[in-house]
Amino acid sequence: MLNNLQQQPADALLALIKLHNDDPRTSKIDLGVGVYRTGQGDTPVFGAIKAAEKKLLETQNSKAYLGPEGDMGFVHALMPWVFGRQDPTKGGRIEGMQTPGGTGAVRLACALAKRAGVKRVWMGTPSWPNHAQIIADLGLELKGFKHNTAEGVVDMDALMGALAEATPEDAILLHGCCHNPTGIDYANAQWDAIAPAIKAAGVLPILDLAYQGLGYGMEEDAYGLRRVLAEVPEALIAYSCDKNFGLYRDRVGAVYVMMESADQVPAAISNGHALARAAWSMPPDHGAAAVRLILEDADLTAMWIDELDQMRTRMAQVRAKLAAAGVAGSVNLSPLGGQNGLFSIVPLSAEQILAMREKHGVYMAGSGRINVAGLTMNNIDQFIAAVADVSV
């Protein structure tokens, strides 16, 4: 029976981690998977997390099960940051549960949508490759539309066309900020147009917020999500703390449902619990508990925000330097200066991306996506020279 299982390709993005680790060249540059790196190229544990973990070790007196919802103190402590300080539950219409990372959150959001009767999910492409994998694995139909134009700006016409075609049985998956892989986000004025269009289409929004704080700031990066939620009767929100708290391998996420009225919340959440129980039973506790301790403590919160600000500042410096380089070979790097978050696409062909890796030791995704945080003042000139070399 098990012989029926056919060899599957390794996840292309995760395979890059191994390829990079196996490369003996000291000059190699890892621009693959999305982890933040300092100017020294490290991915340290946040100081605020270290302090919270210390507190956790000292105060945690049990590791007994919490239940499929995970740490509800964590889930609720995040809500003012995501939904706004004023009435973060929207009169009891929003409730959530903890998930294993942002992937667990997207998975649960899509599974809930499916349970509710959704059959098709609209999504701008390119997108984070795992979005399509999750949608396909759940047996949902993916309807793609162009996220951005060749000029590197959001393709509003494509989005509005998709919304005009979508039906109330459909969902639409949108990135809240720091679009992965393009770094091309909707401007606030565009969200102002998107929110009523979603409402008019009657389509169910699934909003994925995996990089809050890494674009313009925690408040600023929530604009689109809050704008949509202000307009529509119901929505699903997938959230990740893996990047903005640097907790990648601890898998810290949450999924929230917003219902039309508060009395509908328990039924929706009970479906979330049932799906979680059948999939992973309960999410891992450690990272979420550390986040809760940070958010419950004003000093630790200030420390975390400061660390997040430093990350954003450094990425802005890298982007400014890339933009200042202008054209490298046949690639115009200028647009990268105006993009947001960890990622941007460098428009290279598959052969050129392979040459980046084989000839220059630069590891980037097959889509041309780079993790800009992998660039430092020590390796950025080497990267720009490599782009120029492979693209002449």
Binding residues for ligand LMR (CB under 6 A): 13, 33-34, 128, 130, 180
Q: Which of 81, 122, 128, 304 is catalytic?
A: 128
Q: How far is CA 264 from CA 83, 258, 356, 390, in A?
A: 19, 9, 53, 56
Nearer to ligand LMR among residue 95 and residue 242 (C-beta): 242
**Least Å distance between CB 370 and ligand LMR?**
11
Q: Which of 155, 170, 185, 208 is catalytic?
A: 208
**Least Å distance between CB 240 and ligand LMR?**
8
Q: Please list the residues that pair with 258 across neighbouring strands.
A: 94, 235
Nearer to ligand LMR among residue 33 and residue 259 (C-beta): 33
- Give residues with Cβ within 8 angstroms of 218, minimum separation 6: 81, 212, 244, 305, 308
Nearer to ligand LMR among residue 180 and residue 376 (C-beta): 180
Q: Is 191 a catalytic residue?
A: no
Residue nearest to ligand LMR (CB): 34
Nearer to ligand LMR among residue 33 and residue 362 (C-beta): 33
Closest CA to 109 of 276, 262, 282, 291: 276
Q: Is 208 a catalytic residue?
A: yes
**Least Å distance between CB 70 and ligand LMR?**
19
- The answer to whether the beta carbons of residues 357 and 341 sit under 8 Å apart is no
Nearer to ligand LMR among residue 102 and residue 231 (C-beta): 102
**Least Å distance between CB 51 and ligand LMR?**
26
**Least Å distance between CB 342 and ligand LMR?**
8
Nearer to ligand LMR among residue 42 and residue 58 (C-beta): 42
Q: Among all chains, which residue has been given the structure tokens 């169910």?
A: 204
**Least Å distance between CB 32 and ligand LMR?**
7
Q: Is 30 a catalytic residue?
A: no
Q: What is the set of active-site residues?
A: 128, 208, 243
